[in-house]
């Protein structure tokens, strides 16, 4: 286990939050009015067995507060986990593009809070449904708060914010019976998708392994929209923001995700919390793709269309700085639940474009906080307030904390000598980018948004074979849960526009044929619009493949924070256990001893070994790899424990690294791994199944390499184990 480090102290946001922290240690209990409480256990009664008295203000205060503890959860992204951290830019190379100091001054360390989330599920839903993940970062800069409110996928489902309520109503549980929870696999979602071809690109990402991340720490993040960077001279460049995790981008497999949600619904929340507590601080590099204004129309898609990405092979991602998450919240509700993000929280040097999805978001985020956080003063909640002072003429409202002194609350005024005054641009005043606009007021969508299929195809083409087959399986699963055949058929028809072979495989899985759609397939246009103006246009893309889109090409090799289960029982060989444990821990992995019972087991030298989990309370889906140390007695016990056999089979099914020392191979031989593959296990099946001896130094080294490889998907070609 990595050594625990002290949380960062004394940055400007920590100091700010400290003003509002409270801790009851060493103090007497009081009411909210500060009165010391003598008895918190019994209500005030008319006699020991009599009725409770209305005058019991202590009881009333306690119950009343409790009755109002809940606030509405977020309409979307209700389930989330967050952490504090810092951002530091590497150098001042972005100065030619932006005047945002936190992006150009390498001496600054900007405090921040990041909240990750799923989209569809309720606040108490599980962490690993098939879903997009929110990736929202609030930078507390010296010029005010800047929020980058993105997702772990670089594109969105729809092109115009006016369709957002429809998309979300379709994906959320169905209105008549509130089923299913945190799942897109149902009629209404796919009904909407089947009539809205603009969703296809994000749908392809949603059906890929990106939608089931191994860890929040192993996800990319994307700002999605094209934004603007504005420099000192007022010149604008287009920019797309990326977050690149230093641990690489990794996913679990679908069967595993289904099981994790039962075994540990807090899988991602726990993983993030524990990594930070142990001092293994998650890190991401901030990347930018910069496009000069003059090049706006040089792409085969529209930069304002949020269903499109700029392939990294066309505009490389420049890594400009690093975010480190280094402190867990002290109170989930006060911080993670009450934080309020808004893509419209800007600092000088960054501005918007006319992306119609972004434009609508600029309204929605403040508006939603009014009901979620109860009024217009949510910016005063400690986690939301900037580290810069706030001075303006806004006043009053529910739960106002600030005591605004002075005689004026308007501008212009003479009584307060005109203060608070407006700031010149040279003093840091924000001035919107002066984009020239000359157009008719219309409800319409640009023809340049009507290529719905070439980027989904680019994505699919860029995936490795196993990644592609996971996409096929995901479509078959999701549409298999749709019980209206006409919806399935429409989706298959749309898929045929993306990739004929993909559509055929999905159709086969569903027992359908790929049909040519007879009617226009886009149903999203106004009543008086000409449908032809909204039908897909065919574009021949510049690129056939974009290797950056496949997780095969991500960072691999590190086993830092990877969870390794050691299956052991009484009599486990002490050397076999300790040599491998030391080797793994020295690389930053976390070893969990899993035994048939809780408490302690005795190793071959008679020493007690603490059991982390009994096999009853644990499952292979909660770890990255498995090691079985030798020890005849231990192996004999494990052989007679059916859950152990299942544990190994399941880990193999999920393509994880497995190592067995000496006689531990005998245990592997009675699993399906041997039976199913019908191979001689003395020979290696792949580099992820290691049957060797701990006395051979290469054994632990090869296991470390295997864990660092993440998964061995080539196994899936051999067929799947029934585990």
Could you list the active site residues? 77, 151
Which CB atom, from 385 or from 497, has the smaller least distance to ligand HDD?
Answer: 385
Contact pattern from residue 506 through residue 525 relative to ligand HDD, giving x for each residue in contact according to CB under 6 A and a dash for the rest? --------------------
* Of 157 and 627, CB closest to ligand HDD: 157
Neighbours of 33 (CB within 10 A): 7
* Smallest separation (angstroms) from ligand HDD to the CB of 342: 7
Phi/psi at 25 (nearest 5 deg)?
-55, 125
Residue among 74 and 250 whose Cβ is closer to ligand HDD? 74
Dist. CA 476–CA 677, nearest whole Å:
25
Quote the strand ranges of 293-445, DSSP E. Answer: 318-327, 350-351
* Minimum gap (Å) between residue 78 Cβ and ligand HDD: 8
Which CB, 164 or 238, lies closer to ligand HDD?
164
Cα–Cα nearest to 585, from 194, 238, 278, 217 = 278
Give the pair of three-digit tokens for residue 51: 């009725």
List phi, psi (to 5°) of 679. -125, 160
User: Using CA atoms, how far apart are residues 372 and 360, in angstroms rounded to an integer?
Assistant: 19
What is the nearest approach in angstroms of ligand HDD to the Cβ of residue 712? 33
Tokens of 370: 């009014």
- List 17, 86, 120, 136, residue binding ligand HDD (CB under 6 A): 136
Minimum distance of ligand HDD from residue 222's CB (angstroms): 8
Residue 365 C-beta: closest distance to ligand HDD, Å? 5
- Binding to ligand HDD (CB under 6 A) within 66-125 occurs at 74-77, 80, 115, 117
Q: State which of residues 111, 134, 154, 356 lies at the interface with ligand HDD (CB under 6 A).
A: 134
Q: Is 364 in the site for ligand HDD (CB under 6 A)?
A: yes
Q: Give min distance, CB of 267 to ligand HDD, in A.
A: 18
Q: How far is the CB of 119 from ligand HDD (least distance, A)?
A: 8
> What is the closest distance, in whole angstroms, from the C-beta atom of residue 162 to ligand HDD in the complex?
8
Q: Which stretch binds ligand HDD (CB under 6 A): 363-371, 457-465, 567-575, 685-693?
A: 363-371
Q: Which residue is nearest to ligand HDD (CB)?
A: 134
Among positions 187, 318, 368, 614, the unique one binding ligand HDD when judged by CB under 6 A: 368
357 vs 626 by CB, closer to ligand HDD: 357
Which residue bears the tokens 């995790």? 245
306 touches ligand HDD (CB under 6 A)? yes
Q: Which residues contact 248 (CB under 8 A, 6 or more apart)?
A: 218, 554, 555, 556, 558, 710
Q: Using the CB atoms, write b or e for 58-91: b if 16+ within 10 Å.
A: bbeebeeeeeeeeeebbebbbbbbbbbbbbbbee
E strand spans, 119-254: 133-141, 144-151, 221-222, 227-230, 236-245
Q: Which of 360, 376, 509, 517 binds ligand HDD (CB under 6 A)?
A: 360
DSSP secondary structure string for all residues of 540-554: --S-S--GGGSGGGS
**Furthest CA-CA distance within the chain:** 91
Helices (H), 78-237: 164-171, 187-195, 200-206
- Residues 314-343 close enough to bind ligand HDD by CB under 6 A: 339-341
The one segment of 143-151, 212-220, 324-332, 406-414 that binds ligand HDD by CB under 6 A: 143-151
Binding range to ligand HDD, per CB under 6 A, among 150-158, 475-483, 529-537, 655-663: 150-158
Contacts with ligand HDD by CB under 6 A: the residue count is 27
- Candidates 560, 569, 551, 561; CA nearest to 647 is 569
Query: Binding residue for ligand HDD (CB under 6 A) from 151, 152, 159, 561?
Result: 151
- Distance (Å, whole) CA 705 – CA 681: 20
Q: Which helix (H) or strand (E) holds 581?
A: helix 574-586
Q: How far is CA 513 from CA 199, 207, 500, 505, in A?
A: 22, 20, 12, 10
Cα torsion angle, 485, 491, 497, 499, sign: negative
- Map residue 184 onto helix, strand or coil: coil
Name the 3-class secondary structure at 237: strand
CB of 73 to ligand HDD, least distance (A): 9
Residue 358 or 583 with smaller CB distance to ligand HDD: 358
Query: Which of residues 132 and 655 has its CB atom nearest to ligand HDD in the complex?
Result: 132
Residue of 121, 150, 248, 265 that binds ligand HDD (CB under 6 A):
150
Stretch that binds ligand HDD, among 95-103, 274-282, 362-370, 673-681 (CB under 6 A): 362-370
Least CB distance to ligand HDD at residue 135 (A): 6
Write the interaction track for ligand HDD spanning residues 165-204; mark x where CB under 6 A is met and - where it is not: ----------------------------------------
Residues 365 and 345: their CA atoms lie apart, in Å, by 10
Which one of 353-361, 459-467, 559-567, 636-644 is the stretch in contact with ligand HDD (CB under 6 A)? 353-361
What is d(CA 626, CA 324) in angstroms, rounded to the nearest whole number?
29
Euclidean distance between CA atoms 631 and 643, whole angstroms = 19
- The single residue among 146, 156, 227, 243 that binds ligand HDD, judged by CB under 6 A, is 156
The DSSP line for 44-95 is: -BSSTTSPBPTT-HHHHHHHHHHHT---PPPSSS-SEEEEEEEEEES-SGGG
For ligand HDD, give the closer residue by CB, 356 or 466: 356
- The CA–CA distances, whole Å, from 705 to 92, 372, 575, 588 equal 37, 47, 21, 13
- Residue 231 makes CB contacts below 8 A (sequence gap 6+) with 95, 96, 97, 98, 99, 237, 349
Residue 345 touching ligand HDD (CB under 6 A)? no
Q: Is 275 in the site for ligand HDD (CB under 6 A)?
A: no
- Measured from the CB atom, the residue of 282 and 688 that comes closer to ligand HDD is 282
Query: Does 159 sit near ligand HDD (CB under 6 A)?
Result: no
β-partners of residue 134 are 117, 151
Binding flag, residue 138, ligand HDD (CB under 6 A): no
Residues 600-639 binding ligand HDD (CB under 6 A) are: none
DSSP reduced 3-state for 142: strand
Kindly indicate which of the ranges 148-156, 281-289, 374-382, 715-723 contains the residues binding ligand HDD, using the contact rule CB under 6 A: 148-156
Q: What residues between 203 and 232 interact with ligand HDD by CB under 6 A?
A: 224-225
Residue 365 sits in the site that holds ligand HDD (CB under 6 A)? yes
Reported in sequence order, the residue ranges of 262-348 that DSSP labels E, i.e. its strands, are 283-292, 318-327
Q: What one-character DSSP code corresponds to residue 683?
A: S
Least distance to ligand HDD from the beta carbon of 626, Å? Answer: 35
User: How many C-beta atoms surround the C-beta of residue 516 within 10 A?
Assistant: 6
377 touches ligand HDD (CB under 6 A): no
Q: Among residues 307 and 326, whose Cβ is nearest to ligand HDD?
A: 307
How far apart are CB 83 and ligand HDD at their closest, in Å? 12
Minimum CB–partner distance for residue 47 and ligand HDD (Å)? 50
Tokens of 668: 């592997």
Strand, helix or coil for residue 620: helix
Count other C-beta atoms under 10 Å from residue 404's C-beta.
14
Interaction site with ligand HDD (CB under 6 A):
74-77, 80, 115, 117, 134, 136, 149-151, 156, 161, 164, 224-225, 306, 339-341, 357, 360-361, 364-365, 368
């Amino acid at each position: 286990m990595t050594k625990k480090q002290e949380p960062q102290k004394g940055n400007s946001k920590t100091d700010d939050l400290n003003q509002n922290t409270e801790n009851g240690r060493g103090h007497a209990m009081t009411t909210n009015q500060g009165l010391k409480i003598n008895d918190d256990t019994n209500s005030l009664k008319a006699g020991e067995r009599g009725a409770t008295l209305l005058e019991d203000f202590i009881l009333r205060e306690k119950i009343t507060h409790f009755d109002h503890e809940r606030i509405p959860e977020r309409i979307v992204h209700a389930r989330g986990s967050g952490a504090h951290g810092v951002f530091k830019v590497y150098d001042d190379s972005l100065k030619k593009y932006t005047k945002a100091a936190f992006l150009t001054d390498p001496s600054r360390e900007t405090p921040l809070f990041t909240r990750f989330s799923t989209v569809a599920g309720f606040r108490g839903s599980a962490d690993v449904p098939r879903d997009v993940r929110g990736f929202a970062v609030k930078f507390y800069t010296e010029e005010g708060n800047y929020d980058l409110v993105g997702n772990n996928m670089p594109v969105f489902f729809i092109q115009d914010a006016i369709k957002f309520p429809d998309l979300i109503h379709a994906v959320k549980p169905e209105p008549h019976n509130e089923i299913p929870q945190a799942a897109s696999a149902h009629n209404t979602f796919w009904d909407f998708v089947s009539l809205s071809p603009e969703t296809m690109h994000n749908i392809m990402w949603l059906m890929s392994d990106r939608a089931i991340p191994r860890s929040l720490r192993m996800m990319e993040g994307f700002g999605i929209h094209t934004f603007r960077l504005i420099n000192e001279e007022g010149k604008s460049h287009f920019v797309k923001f990326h977050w690149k995790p230093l641990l690489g981008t990794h996913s679990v497999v679908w069967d595993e995700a289904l099981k994790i949600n039962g075994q540990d619904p807090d899988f991602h929340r726990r993983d993030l919390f524990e990594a930070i507590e142990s001092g293994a601080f998650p890190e991401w590099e901030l990347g930018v793709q910069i496009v000069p204004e003059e090049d706006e129309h040089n792409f085969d898609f529209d930069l304002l269309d949020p269903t499109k990405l700029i392939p990294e092979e066309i505009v490389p991602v420049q890594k400009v700085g690093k975010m480190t998450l280094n402190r867990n919240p002290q109170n989930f509700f006060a911080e993670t639940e009450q934080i309020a993000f808004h893509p419209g929280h800007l600092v000088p040097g960054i501005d918007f474009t006319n992306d119609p999805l972004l434009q609508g978001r600029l309204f929605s985020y403040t508006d939603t906080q009014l009901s979620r956080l109860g009024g217009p003063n949510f910016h005063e909640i400690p986690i939301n307030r900037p580290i810069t002072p706030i001075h303006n003429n806004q006043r009053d409202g529910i739960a106002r904390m600030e005591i605004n002194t002075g005689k004026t609350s308007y501008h212009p005024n003479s009584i307060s000598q005109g203060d608070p005054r407006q700031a010149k641009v040279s003093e840091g005043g924000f001035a919107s980018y002066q984009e020239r606009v000359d157009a008719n007021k219309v409800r319409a969508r640009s023809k340049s948004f009507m290529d719905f299929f070439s980027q989904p195809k680019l994505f699919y083409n860029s995936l490795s074979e196993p990644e592609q087959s996971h996409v096929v399986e995901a479509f078959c699963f999701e549409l298999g849960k749709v019980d209206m055949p006409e919806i399935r058929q429409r989706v298959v028809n749309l898929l045929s526009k993306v990739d004929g072979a993909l559509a055929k495989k999905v159709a086969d899985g569903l027992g359908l044929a790929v049909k040519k759609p007879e009617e226009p397939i886009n149903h999203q246009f106004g009543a008086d619009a000409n449908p032809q103006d909204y039908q897909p246009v065919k574009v021949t893309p510049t690129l056939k493949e974009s290797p950056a889109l496949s997780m095969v090409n991500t960072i691999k090799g590190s086993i830092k924070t990877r969870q390794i289960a050691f299956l052991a029982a009484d009599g486990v060989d002490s050397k076999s256990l300790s040599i491998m444990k030391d080797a793994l821990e020295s690389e930053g992995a976390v070893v969990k001893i899993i035994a048939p019972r809780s408490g302690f087991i005795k190793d071959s030298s008679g020493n007690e070994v603490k059991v982390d989990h009994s096999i009853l309370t644990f499952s292979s889906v909660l770890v990255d790899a498995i090691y079985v140390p030798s020890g005849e007695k231990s192996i004999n016990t494990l052989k007679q424990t059916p859950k152990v056999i299942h544990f190994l089979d399941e880990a193999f099914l999920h393509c994880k690294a497995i190592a067995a020392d000496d006689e531990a191979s005998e245990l592997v031989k009675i699993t399906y791994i041997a039976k199913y593959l019908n191979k001689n296990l003395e020979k290696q099946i792949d580099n992820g199944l290691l049957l060797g001896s701990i006395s051979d130094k290469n054994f632990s080294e090869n296991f470390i390499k295997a864990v660092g490889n993440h998964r061995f998907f080539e196994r899936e070609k051999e067929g799947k184990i029934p585990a």
